[in-house]
């Protein structure tokens, strides 16, 4: 399907953009595109306009073209006719690949990660891509820590500190994607400085380490999950994360020591 074609079955000319390297399922997206046919046929099958936005806020035409490409078809009226009702719904919802509609699918997530890495390697803007925008988060957090290594910026100035740092490093991220560190260890460092980060982590793990049942499976599993997820999220920046940790941590400490005493 990557082979360039000249005319659709209806006799209209395809347009090709060889400088564009975006791919879906191994097929070049911007090859064999007839937007005239796509627009006409799509608008007959969907209430969402071809030149409008999908439910995710992206250009629907781009979502459609990527989706059709992933199915291995040229982008023309024949491709639109071949789409099922489910396909139409997926595109309207903003799924640019049939795989993305499979919620919770490891294959879908693996493909998404590979796609993000490929786009990053091509120099595409990482905004909105959970994996490839994280280096920008970490870069901003590290910059703040380097400016305030001993005391941090405090709990009230984190948002402003990140905003100023993103401006300073000229991040390619769009304003709505200029988020915090998404790493609890770095967030501790930004908030309290390096000494405060060490103290915060020590205060969190010391009760576990001195517990007489610290090697019990429930406690080990719980602490492993918490310590690992802290690399991937600002665990204690949300009420849910803080409540989850404090409740189960206290429960495991109390019940473990209680069981030990009874024995």
CB atoms within 10 A of CB 65: 22
Helix H or strand E segment including 104: none
Give the CA count within 13 Å in the CB-facing half-sphere of 235.
Answer: 20
Q: Which of 53, 26, 2 is nearest to 115 (CA)?
A: 26
Q: What percent of the chain has pLDDT over 70?
A: 96
Q: Which of 61, 92, 55, 91 is nearest to 75 (CA)?
A: 61
104-108 average pLDDT score: 87
- Specify the pLDDT at position 262: 42
107-122 average pLDDT score: 88
228-255 average pLDDT score: 91
Q: Label residue 234 exposed, middle or buried (CB < 10 Å: 0-12, 13-18, 19+).
A: buried
223-235 average pLDDT score: 94
- Specify the pLDDT at position 112: 87
Q: Inter-axis angle of helices 60-70 and 35-45, to 10 degrees?
A: 100
- Mean residue pLDDT across the chain: 92
Confidence of residue 257 (pLDDT cuts 50, 70, 90): low
């Amino acid at each position: 399907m990557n082979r360039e074609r000249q005319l659709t079955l209806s006799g209209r000319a395809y347009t090709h953009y060889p400088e564009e390297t975006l791919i879906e399922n191994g097929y070049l997206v911007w090859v064999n595109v007839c937007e005239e046919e796509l627009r006409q046929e799509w608008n007959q099958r969907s209430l969402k306009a071809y030149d409008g936005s999908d439910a995710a806020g992206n250009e629907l035409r781009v979502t459609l073209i990527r989706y059709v490409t992933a199915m291995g078809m040229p982008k023309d009226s024949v491709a639109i006719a071949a789409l099922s009702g489910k396909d139409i719904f997926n595109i309207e919802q903003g799924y640019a690949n049939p795989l993305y509609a499979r919620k919770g699918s490891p294959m879908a997530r693996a493909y998404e990660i590979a796609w993000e890495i490929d786009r990053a390697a091509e120099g595409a803007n990482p905004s909105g891509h959970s994996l490839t925008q994280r280096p920008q988060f970490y870069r901003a957090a590290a910059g703040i820590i380097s400016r305030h290594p001993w005391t941090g910026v405090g709990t009230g100035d984190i948002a402003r500190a990140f905003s100023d740092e993103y401006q300073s490093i000229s991040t390619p991220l769009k304003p709505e994607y200029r988020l915090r560190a998404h790493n609890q260890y770095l967030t501790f460092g930004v908030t309290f400085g390096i000494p405060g980060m060490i103290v915060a982590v020590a205060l969190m793990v010391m009760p576990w380490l001195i517990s007489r049942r610290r090697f019990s499976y429930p406690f080990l599993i719980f602490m492993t999950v918490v310590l690992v997820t802290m690399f991937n999220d600002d665990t204690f920046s949300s009420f849910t994360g803080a409540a989850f940790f404090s409740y189960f941590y206290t429960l495991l400490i109390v019940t473990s020591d209680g069981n030990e005493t009874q024995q």
